[in-house]
């Protein structure tokens, strides 16, 4: 039987090395023994953007990008979307197993106990300008929570980790809704714990003068499914940030603020916002070819298309497309869906997109549903962050308890100047070093 090793011959020295292969990987640190001479630096692997580097072992979610498979803790995303609820899925992600009835009731109770925020958080949010982006408010407020719960720094304490997890999952919808109400100059609505997780969120967003807000069950369910689909996605940019910040043993609030900041980027969780802007900009089907031409010419990206891992289809996009029609039954059809469907049809036939294996991702249809539900575009990445908090906390706890993990500190390949010596300011030639002016990074 073939042994699970990799034999490497270093042609600089003629030496051979045998490296063990485990879980389909070699350890990058095993490469460090490969050196030209004693005292010389050992070989490193160079992997910008960590495209082919596993940085952890994880049991949370599994993706097979070729076959379009996503599972949380082994359960197919399609089954969870059809049969589970967001809070149950959050339990599964955080704790590793589906709950029994009594555990689920306790979990629900524990999350609801933490939906309120300290009154000073309201004032903190009040301090933002009226037009502050809600994602900026969410990032800052998540970080600010760390000052309210200083005991969160006890990251090795199980009970502390549990409490911060419940707090974060419980408070994210409240902070998100307050951020929205702030932008509209509307009074903040306190949580209604008689409602479901998503029903309460809709209440905090949209309740006006009525005594009791009653969410439409179809929209409440659609949002719940969307939250399930966004709850975790293995080592994406924001979860990697969560692990990286957390690896310094910063508290989970600081780490979630970092993860949310990563999610805010248009190449990650803000893509859903960009998709809707793009579809509005297209405006009518006859303008699609112009956009496709721009994308193919490298002038812009087709937002909501492409994924680092999924190369055939994103299973979440397929599920979301189905929910869109349930939502439209209640809200009326969002006219953007026709543009989106036609854009997808044309792109999927085009050699440029086919050869690069660019398919609609989770963000392509989610924004259209959110918009139909009356959720403002700026809130789309915020909705993503609420759901992803479950995944961030699970990934963070896994990192904290993993004996192999240390503070993240990658290597670099230094390609800058060799040693040079300081020239006093008055002796530097004016107009010198033109490359700095022309090519400098900042």
Closest CB to ligand ACO among 73 and 307? Answer: 307
CA R_g for the chain: 25
The residue whose Cβ lies closest to ligand ACO is 306
Q: Which of 268, 326, 350, 402 is catalytic?
A: 268
- The yes or no reply on residue 307 touching ligand ACO (CB under 6 A) is yes
Return the structure tokens found at 29: 């640190």
Q: How far is the CB of 277 from ligand ACO (least distance, A)?
A: 12
Listed as own residue / partner, the contacts of 184-189 with beta carbons closer than 8 Å and 24 or more positions apart are 185/130, 188/122, 188/125, 189/213
One residue of 362, 375, 379, 386 binding ligand ACO per CB under 6 A: 362
The piece of 183-191, 303-311, 387-395, 408-416 that touches ligand ACO (CB under 6 A) is 303-311
Spatial separation of the C-alpha atoms in residues 241 and 257, rounded to whole Å: 10
Nearest Cα neighbor of 393 from 255, 195, 244 is 255
H/E element holding 255? helix 252-263
Helices (H), ranges, 132-196: 134-148, 158-184
Q: How far is the CB of 312 from ligand ACO (least distance, A)?
A: 14
Residue 432's contacts (CB-CB under 8 Å, 6 or more residues apart) are none
Cβ neighbourhood burial of 178 (10 Å; 0-12, 13-18, 19+): buried
Return the structure tokens found at 95: 């704790």
Nearest Cα neighbor of 117 from 185, 192, 172 is 172
- The yes or no reply on residue 135 touching ligand ACO (CB under 6 A) is no
- The yes or no reply on residue 277 touching ligand ACO (CB under 6 A) is no
- The yes or no reply on residue 214 touching ligand ACO (CB under 6 A) is no
Question: How would you classify the pairing of strands 61-64 and 75-76?
Answer: unpaired
- For every residue of 291-345, DSSP letters joined together read HHHHHHTTSS--TTB--SS-SS--HHHHHHHHHHHHHHHHH---THHHHHHHHHH
363 annotated active-site: yes
Closest CB to ligand ACO among 257 and 347? Answer: 347
One residue of 358, 382, 387, 394 binding ligand ACO per CB under 6 A: 358
Question: How would you classify the pairing of strands 61-64 and 15-20?
Answer: unpaired
The footprint of ligand ACO on this chain (CB under 6 A) covers a number of residues equal to 18
- The yes or no reply on residue 227 touching ligand ACO (CB under 6 A) is no
- The yes or no reply on residue 361 touching ligand ACO (CB under 6 A) is yes
Closest CB to ligand ACO among 191 and 367? Answer: 367
One residue of 295, 320, 375, 379 binding ligand ACO per CB under 6 A: 295
Closest CB to ligand ACO among 169 and 302? Answer: 302
The piece of 133-141, 210-218, 265-273, 323-331 that touches ligand ACO (CB under 6 A) is 265-273
Spatial separation of the C-alpha atoms in residues 245 and 248, rounded to whole Å: 6
One residue of 109, 267, 322, 345 binding ligand ACO per CB under 6 A: 267
- The yes or no reply on residue 118 touching ligand ACO (CB under 6 A) is no
- The yes or no reply on residue 428 touching ligand ACO (CB under 6 A) is no
One residue of 246, 306, 367, 381 binding ligand ACO per CB under 6 A: 306
Give the x/- contact pattern for ligand ACO in 68-107, rule: CB under 6 A: ----------------------------------------
182 annotated active-site: no
Residue 441's contacts (CB-CB under 8 Å, 6 or more residues apart) are none
Q: Which of 133, 221, 233, 307 is catalytic?
A: 307
Q: How far is the CB of 223 from ligand ACO (least distance, A)?
A: 17
One residue of 12, 15, 214, 356 binding ligand ACO per CB under 6 A: 356
Listed as own residue / partner, the contacts of 427-434 with beta carbons closer than 8 Å and 24 or more positions apart are none
Spatial separation of the C-alpha atoms in residues 92 and 83, rounded to whole Å: 13
- The yes or no reply on residue 316 touching ligand ACO (CB under 6 A) is no
- The yes or no reply on residue 388 touching ligand ACO (CB under 6 A) is no
- The yes or no reply on residue 302 touching ligand ACO (CB under 6 A) is yes
Return the structure tokens found at 146: 């760390």
Closest CB to ligand ACO among 306 and 315? Answer: 306
- The yes or no reply on residue 301 touching ligand ACO (CB under 6 A) is yes
CB 9 within 8 A of CB 15: yes
403 annotated active-site: no
Spatial separation of the C-alpha atoms in residues 328 and 266, rounded to whole Å: 26
- The yes or no reply on residue 311 touching ligand ACO (CB under 6 A) is no
Q: What amino acid positions are annotated as catalytic residues?
A: 268, 307, 363
For ligand ACO, the binding residues (CB under 6 A) are 267-269, 271, 295, 301-308, 356, 358, 361-363
């Amino acid at each position: 039987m073939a042994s699970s090793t990799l034999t490497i011959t270093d042609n600089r020295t003629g030496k051979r090395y045998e490296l063990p292969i485990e879980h389909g990987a070699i350890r990058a640190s095993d490469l460090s023994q490969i050196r030209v001479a004693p005292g010389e630096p050992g070989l490193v692997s160079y992997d910008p953007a960590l495209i082919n580097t596993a940085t952890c072992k994880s049991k949370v979610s599994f993706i097979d990008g070729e076959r379009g498979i996503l599972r949380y803790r082994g359960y197919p995303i399609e089954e969870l979307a059809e049969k589970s609820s967001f809070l149950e899925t959050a339990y599964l992600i955080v704790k590793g197993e589906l709950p029994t009835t009594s555990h689920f009731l306790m979990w629900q109770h524990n999350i609801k106990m933490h939906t309120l925020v300290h009154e000073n958080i309201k004032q903190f949010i009040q301090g933002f300008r009226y037009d502050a982006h809600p994602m900026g408010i969410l990032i800052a407020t998540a970080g600010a929570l760390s000052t309210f719960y200083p005991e969160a720094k006890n990251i090795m304490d199980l009970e502390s980790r549990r409490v911060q997890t419940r707090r974060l999952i419980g408070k994210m919808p409240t902070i998100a809704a307050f951020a929205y109400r702030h932008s509209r100059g509307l009074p903040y609505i306190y949580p209604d714990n008689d409602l479901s997780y998503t029903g309460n969120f809709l209440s905090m967003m949209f309740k006006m003068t009525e005594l009791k807000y009653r969410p439409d069950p179809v929209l409440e369910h659609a949002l719940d499914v969307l939250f399930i689909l966004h709850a975790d996605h293995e080592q994406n940019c924001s979860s990697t940030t969560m692990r990286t910040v957390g690896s310094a043993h910063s508290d989970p609030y600081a780490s979630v603020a970092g993860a949310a900041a990563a999610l805010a980027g248009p190449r990650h969780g803000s893509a859903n916002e960009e998709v809707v802007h793009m579809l509005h900009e297209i405006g009518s089907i006859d303008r699609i070819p112009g956009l496709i031409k721009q994308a193919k010419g490298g002038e812009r990206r087709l937002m909501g298309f492409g994924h680092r891992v999924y190369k055939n289809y994103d299973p979440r996009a397929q599920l979301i497309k189905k929910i869109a029609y349930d939502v439209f039954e209640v809200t009326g059809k969002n006219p953007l869906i026709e543009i989106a469907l036609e854009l997808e049809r044309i792109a999927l036939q085009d050699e440029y997109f086919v050869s690069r294996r660019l398919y609609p991702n989770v963000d392509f249809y989610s924004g259209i549903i959110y918009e139909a539900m009356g959720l403002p575009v700026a809130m789309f990445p915020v909705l993503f962050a609420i759901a992803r908090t479950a995944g961030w906390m699970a990934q963070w706890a896994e990192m904290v308890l993993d004996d192999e993990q240390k503070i993240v500190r990658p290597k670099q390949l230094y390609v800058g100047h060799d040693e040079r010596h300081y020239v006093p300011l008055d002796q530097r030639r004016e107009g010198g070093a033109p490359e700095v002016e022309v090519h400098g990074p900042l």
